């Protein structure tokens, strides 16, 4: 049978599951779904489909299985590793979950929210706040990323220090399997040792093992007050000593500890002059610290001031500005979150989303900075990140004046190799929070080692023997 005929039949059969307006086949309609946020990957798709219910998702998966057509699950398409972008064959379909955006239940006593995969993260935060709860997952893409995408990538963000990654916030999942069955694991239990943890298997699997359709997520009491401060630090060793001081003195009140180098903030200011660093001069490191309290405003303010005083006395910091109101606190956070956008404005860049044990971070930065500067004179190291988690965004922009696309074509591999070798030497990870997708597919085998990589392949083969769920992402079988 000719493939055109197979495709026509397949699209007709899709029409028996979804109404025509939820099946896009025209090129101009599909285009917005085919390129990732960073514009690194563009694919083709037979169709983009928008199911509304888990039952419809299951039917589509069964049809795809019968027709041997593979599926790329897609949420907000804000991922950094090309996981939600189809390949170039034009034979895959994109299954976009944005219509599955119902909040099914808020259980006040259990402090949980049950919601569908297509809920936008910011909407979930707002809904929780209306009910006087905190949903702590927070990241720069929160206005467009979706909870299913957050779960599928096990997203991190700026609150991990206190509340953990998306995995730590999830109690239960509903998943459509590669066979097109619906697994209902939507129990809001904090203890459940009944054999293998299927929930944890699907979280972080980037759409390669199942399609997440709903989840039960934890809620927390809404903090009564938050204090945000920016401090100037001379070096990374002092930044870590400062973190340890806050961990000791503020314990669980410490909810954010983010680091930005001078070069990152210079780039930010170049593209967003209104976001200039309010600290005096240009400190080598600017650290954003947030404390959240469940008692009085006064209590946390006093605590913050006394820890900062101790940090000044111990020469850990050279300057500090405490946000005097919510607007200023938001401006500090915007400054931190806009570095990614400033990098995008500047041109293509090479991202390295890495974690290093805090005890090796100073060695990593001094050695890698030196090697990079020696081998690539004029290189711009845009290093910032979630220091409290040991997670650096050690991004590389080409020397000023060079074409970034051309630079990346020439130097992407040797730069990745150099930086990842340093990461390995420090027993770190080549993907802290952004995942693997298609971007890091090749690097994963070397990084995980053959035993772990083979176990991952065995799991993929067992759960998706036909290889129809997001093939050639994370692991290839
Ligand atoms: P998508 O990009 O649509 O998909 C990501 C992966 O998940 C793909 O492999 C896709 O196939 C799969 N997938 C999506 N939905 C489902 C589903 N329902 N079932 C199964 N598989 C699915 N990430 C962080 O971790 N921390 C940050 O601080 C952070 N900041 C960011 C800031 C900006 C400005 C941007 C643009 C991105 C940032 N990200 C960050 C990356 C990104 O937002 C996260 O990876 C996010 O979790 C992706 O969600 P999404 O809905 O956009 O998923
Ligand atoms: C952040 O922490 C995001 O702001 C984006 O994870 C990091 O741009 C990046 O590399
Ligand atoms: Zn990040």
pLDDT at residue number 294: 84
Q: Across residues 330-349, what is the average pLDDT?
A: 97
- What is the 425 CA–ligand 1 centroid distance (Å)? 28
At residue 6, does pLDDT exceed 80? no
pLDDT > 70 in the chain, percent = 99
Ligand nearest to the CA of 472: 1
Instruction: Render pLDDT for 313-328 as a digit per residue (tens, 0 to 9).
Output: 999 999 999 999 999 9
Residue 470 CA: nearest ligand 1 atom is 11
pLDDT at residue number 297: 83
- Rounded to a whole number of angstroms, the CA Rg of the chain reads 23
| Residue closest to 416 by CA, chosen among 430, 432, 437 | 430
Ligand nearest to the CA of 391: 3
pLDDT at residue number 5: 73
At residue 403, does pLDDT exceed 80? yes
Residue 432 CA: nearest ligand 1 atom is 25
How far apart (Å, rounded) are the C-alpha atoms in residues 139 and 250?
23
DSSP letters for 387-418: GGGTEEEEEEEPPTTS-HHHHHHHHHHHHHHH
pLDDT at residue number 58: 99
Instruction: Render pLDDT for 158-214 as a digit per residue (tens, 0 to 9).
Output: 999 999 999 999 999 999 999 999 999 999 999 999 999 999 999 999 999 999 999
Question: Is residue 140 in contact with ligand 2, taking CB distance under 6 Å?
Answer: yes
159 class by beta-carbon count within 10 Å (0-12 exposed, 13-18 middle, 19+ buried): buried
Question: Is residue 73 in contact with ligand 1, taking CB distance under 6 Å?
Answer: yes
Q: Across residues 432-448, what is the average pLDDT?
A: 95
pLDDT at residue number 329: 97
pLDDT at residue number 2: 59
**What is the pTM (predicted TM-score) of this model?**
0.98
pLDDT at residue number 353: 98
Residue from 48, 79, 205 whose mutation best tests the ligand 1 pocket (most atoms within 8 A of CB): 79
Question: Is residue 340 in contact with ligand 2, taking CB distance under 6 Å?
Answer: yes
Mean pLDDT of the chain: 97
At residue 442, does pLDDT exceed 60? yes
All domains in the chain, ordered by first residue: 2-96 (3.30.43.10), 103-221 (3.30.465.10), 225-338 (3.30.70.2190), 347-425 (3.30.70.2740)
Question: Is residue 149 in contact with ligand 1, taking CB distance under 6 Å?
Answer: yes
List, in sequence order, every residue forming a beta bridge with 217; answer none if it has no partner: 113, 170
For ligand 1, atom 27, name the residue with the nearest CA.
Answer: 157
Q: Which residue has the tokens 């709860």?
A: 133
**Sign of the torsion angle spanned by Cα atoms 370, 375, 378, 383:** negative
pLDDT at residue number 3: 65
Q: Which tokens in the block code for residue 422?
A: 């340093």
Instruction: Render pLDDT for 263-311 as a digit per residue (tens, 0 to 9).
Output: 999 999 999 999 999 999 999 999 999 999 988 788 899 999 999 999 9
- What is the 47 CA–ligand 1 centroid distance (Å)? 21
Q: Which tokens in the block code for residue 81?
A: 């590793």
């Amino acid at each position: 049978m000719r493939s055109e005929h197979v495709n026509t039949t397949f699209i007709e059969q899709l029409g028996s599951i979804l109404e025509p307006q939820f099946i896009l086949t025209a090129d101009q309609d599909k285009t917005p779904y085919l390129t990732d946020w960073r514009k690194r990957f563009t694919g083709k798709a037979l169709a983009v489909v928008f199911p509304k219910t888990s039952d419809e998702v299951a039917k589509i998966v069964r049809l795809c299985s019968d027709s041997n057509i593979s599926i790329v699950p897609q949420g907000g398409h804000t991922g950094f590793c090309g996981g939600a972008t189809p390949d170039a064959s034009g034979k895959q379909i994109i299954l976009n979950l944005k219509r599955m955006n119902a909040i099914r239940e808020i259980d006040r006593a259990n402090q949980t929210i049950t919601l569908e995969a297509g809920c936008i993260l910011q909407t979930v935060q707002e809904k929780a706040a209306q009910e006087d709860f905190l949903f702590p997952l927070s990241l720069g893409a929160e206005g467009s990323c979706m909870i299913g995408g957050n779960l599928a990538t096990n997203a991190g963000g700026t609150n991990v220090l206190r509340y953990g990654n998306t995995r730590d916030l999830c109690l239960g999942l509903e998943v459509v399997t590669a066979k097109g069955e619906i697994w209902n694991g939507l129990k809001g239990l904090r203890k459940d040792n009944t054999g293998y943890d299927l929930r944890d298997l699907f979280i972080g699997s980037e759409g390669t093992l199942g399609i997440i359709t709903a989840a039960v997520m934890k809620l927390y009491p809404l903090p009564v007050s938050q204090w945000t401060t920016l401090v100037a630090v001379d070096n990374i060793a002092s930044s870590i000593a400062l973190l340890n001081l806050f961990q000791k003195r503020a314990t669980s009140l410490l909810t954010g500890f983010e680091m930005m180098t001078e070069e990152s903030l210079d780039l930010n200011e170049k593209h967003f002059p209104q976001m200039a660093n309010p600290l005096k001069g240009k400190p080598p490191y600017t650290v954003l610290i947030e404390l959240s309290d469940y008692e009085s405003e006064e209590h946390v303010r006093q605590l913050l001031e006394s820890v900062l005083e101790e940090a000044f006395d111990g020469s850990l910091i050279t300057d500090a500005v405490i946000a005097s109101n919510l607007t200023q606190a938001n401006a500090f956070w915007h400054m931190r979150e806009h570095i990614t956008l400033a990098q995008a404005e500047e041109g293509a860049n090479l991202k390295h989303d890495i974690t290093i044990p805090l005890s090796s971070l100073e060695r990593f930065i001094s050695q890698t900075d030196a090697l990079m500067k020696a081998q690539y004179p004029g290189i711009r190291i845009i290093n910032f990140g979630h220091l409290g988690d040991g997670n650096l965004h050690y991004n590389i922009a080409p020397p000023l004046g060079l074409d970034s696309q051309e630079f990346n074509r020439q130097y992407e591999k040797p730069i990745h190799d150099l930086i990842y070798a340093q990461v390995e030497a420090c027993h770190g990870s080549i993907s802290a929070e952004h995942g693997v997708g298609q971007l890091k597919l090749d690097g994963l085998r070397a990084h995980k080692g053959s035993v772990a990589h083979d176990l991952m392949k065995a799991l993929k083969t067992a759960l998706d023997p036909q290889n129809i769920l997001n093939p050639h992402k994370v692991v290839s079988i």
